[in-house]
Amino acid sequence: MIKNTLLPVAEFCQRRKTFIDQMPINSIALIAAGSEVTRSNDTEYPFCQNKHFYYLTGFNEPDAVLALIKGNDSTAAQSVLFSRKKDTLQEIWHGRRVGQVQAIDVYKFDNCFSLDEVDEQLLPLMVGKASVLICQHEQSDFQQKVLSWLAQLRKSARTGIKAPAALIDCSDIINEMRLHKSNAELDIMRQVNVISGAAHQRAMQQTQVGKFEYQIEAELLHEFATNGARYPAYSSIVAGGDNANILHYTDNDETLNNGDLLLIDAGGELAGYAADITRTFPVNGKFSAEQNTIYQLVLDSQNLAIDAIKPGQTLAELNRIVCNFLTQGLYDLGILQGNLNVLLAQRACKKYFIHGLGHWLGLDVHDVGDYHASPQREQLRAFVAGMVMTIEPGIYIPRTDKTVDEKWRGIGVRIEDNILVTATGFENLTVNAPKTIADIEALMAQ
């Protein structure tokens, strides 16, 4: 069993330093933690920290605020945390709190105050030298609070107080930082991939005709948690038969039928980092001829894309490779009909490959980071070592599609691995989730 691995505190300190180095001079950044979300009456969903806040702090309590204050240069910059204060009664009912003393000791903030002291301690930090205020614009509730602080400060203008005049978003700085993974992050991402691969193995072994999809979901969650990834990184998709043609199917409440495929898209979260793995396999353990054909086509396209990954490569080029291959393959099978050159030029496979080829992966399953490097907004950004992405081609032929021979209908296949760009090529982090037809059938026959 793996203890829930945390990154070293030094890594979070280094991130704050790197962030501060990129802040404009005379600025202050305010990044807020997430808040608990009510599930029903007085119970909450499991808490998930705001990922930007977590990235800069490693601090996992709700409602805190990180202030990064920079003057004329980075040397005297300060990291200040505002967090919940210790409270015996609250802690008896709801759990331990870190408190301010420990926050400084353990998380190495320069200073820490309780949230009750925000007006008293934070507002003075926002006046005078700070001419730019940086925050996370999509945090609308916190943004309102920031605007009200600014309004409060502006009311005092006659006393000589000058509030920051510019309000800018933190994403340009932090998204780029998060896109490039450190060795410590990659170690966690390898671990969570191994845990998630084991969960996919378990799902294959536990699948039986007549079980409910949610029973297989339970096997995934068991394997994640047993190995230290207490929560899934996103709601697991356990989609039997035609349900695989609903891309984000999470109802998971139907029975598994003999002769159908089962598509599972599931990954655990470890120390905040996501795995995002999809496998598709036959409920009864043996691919039919048509399932085998579509599966092998998707798998071959995935391998083509993965093998082409290296520094300098682009997602646009990988998409071109996969679209050409899938269009040709679907044409050869008679699923796409017409003039091949026209079909290739039109990327006709997109009728059945209805989503993107992949996305950045990290603290968020659809991780932050710009995909583009051209004014046309094509995905022409060149890969560099340290980026992690998914490669997840799929073919989805809904049961209702009358344009294809009946034998193909109701087949939905996606295969998804997590790939690190290395200095010389790539490393596939998804090492233990069976993927070839032979390996899947062998495991399910055991």
Which of 57-65, 162-170, 292-300, 382-390 is the region at the interface with Mn ion (rule: CB under 5 A)? 382-390
Are 43 and 67 within 8 A, CB to CB? Answer: no
Q: Is 265 in the site for Mn ion (CB under 5 A)?
A: yes
Residue 254 annotated to the active site:
no
Are 191 and 396 within 8 A, CB to CB? Answer: no
* Residue of 390, 393, 413, 434 that binds Mn ion (CB under 5 A): 390
Residue 439 annotated to the active site:
no
Closest-by-Cβ residue to ligand GLY is 265
Distance, in Å, from the CA atom of 125 to the CA atom of 127, rounded to the nearest integer, reads 6
**Contacts from 75-80 at CB under 8 Å and sequence distance 24+?**
77/20, 77/23, 78/110, 78/111, 79/16, 79/20, 79/108, 79/109, 79/110, 79/111, 80/109, 80/110, 80/111, 80/112, 80/113, 80/121, 80/122, 80/125
DSSP string, 146-196: HHHHHHHHHHTGGGT-----EEEESHHHHHHHHHS--HHHHHHHHHHHHHH
Closest contact distance (angstroms) between CB of 238 and ligand GLY is 12
Task: Look at residue 84 and give the partner it binds from Mn ion, ligand GLY, none, a contact being a CB closer than 5 to 8 Å depending on partner kind.
Answer: none
Residue 414 annotated to the active site:
yes
Which of 83-91, 136-144, 262-270, 380-388 is the region at the interface with Mn ion (rule: CB under 5 A)? 262-270
Q: Is 269 in the site for ligand GLY (CB under 6 A)?
A: no
Length of the chain measured in residues? 446
The per-residue b/e assignment along 266-296, b for 16 or more CB within 10 angstroms, e otherwise, is: bbbbbbbbbbbbbbbbbbbbebbebbebbbe
Task: Look at residue 217 and give the partner it binds from ligand GLY, Mn ion, none, a contact being a CB closer than 5 to 8 Å depending on partner kind.
Answer: none
Closest contact distance (angstroms) between CB of 184 and ligand GLY is 24
Task: Look at residue 234 and give the partner it binds from Mn ion, ligand GLY, none, a contact being a CB closer than 5 to 8 Å depending on partner kind.
Answer: ligand GLY
Closest contact distance (angstroms) between CB of 247 and ligand GLY is 8
**Per-residue x/- track, 218-247, ligand GLY (CB under 6 A):** ----------------x-------------
Among 371, 396, 401, 417, the one annotated catalytic? 396
Residue 42 annotated to the active site:
yes
Single-letter amino acid code for the residue at 10: A
Q: Is 276 in the site for Mn ion (CB under 5 A)?
A: yes
Residue 96 annotated to the active site:
no
Residue 94 annotated to the active site:
no
Residue 242 annotated to the active site:
no
* Residue of 276, 364, 367, 417 that binds ligand GLY (CB under 6 A): 276
Closest contact distance (angstroms) between CB of 365 and ligand GLY is 6
Structure tokens at 17: 């330093």
Closest contact distance (angstroms) between CB of 191 and ligand GLY is 19
Are 416 and 392 within 8 A, CB to CB? Answer: yes
DSSP string, 333-381: TTSS-S-HHHHHHTTGGGGT--S-S--B-SSSSS--S----STT--S-P
Secondary structure (3-state) at 67:
strand
Q: Is 364 in the site for ligand GLY (CB under 6 A)?
A: no
Which residues, including other chains, have CB under 8 Å from residue 109's CB and lie 6 or more apart? 57, 79, 80, 81, 103
Closest contact distance (angstroms) between CB of 234 and ligand GLY is 5
Q: Is 273 in the site for ligand GLY (CB under 6 A)?
A: no
Please calculate the CA angle 136-139-142 and round it to the nearest 5 degrees: 100
Single-letter amino acid code for the residue at 105: D
Q: Is 416 in the site for ligand GLY (CB under 6 A)?
A: yes
Distance, in Å, from the CA atom of 209 to the CA atom of 19, rounded to the nearest integer, reads 52
Residue 276 annotated to the active site:
yes
Smaller CB distance to ligand GLY: residue 121 or 250? Answer: 250
Smaller CB distance to ligand GLY: residue 69 or 368? Answer: 368
Q: Is 392 in the site for ligand GLY (CB under 6 A)?
A: yes
Single-letter amino acid code for the residue at 230: R
Closest contact distance (angstroms) between CB of 295 and ligand GLY is 17
Among 39, 154, 222, 248, the one annotated catalytic? 248
Are 163 and 127 within 8 A, CB to CB? Answer: yes
Tell me the catalytic residues: 42, 248, 265, 276, 355, 359, 366, 392, 396, 414, 416
Q: Where on the chain is the footprint of Mn ion (CB under 5 A)?
A: 265, 276, 278, 390, 416
Q: Where on the chain is the footprint of ligand GLY (CB under 6 A)?
A: 234, 265, 276, 359, 365, 392, 416
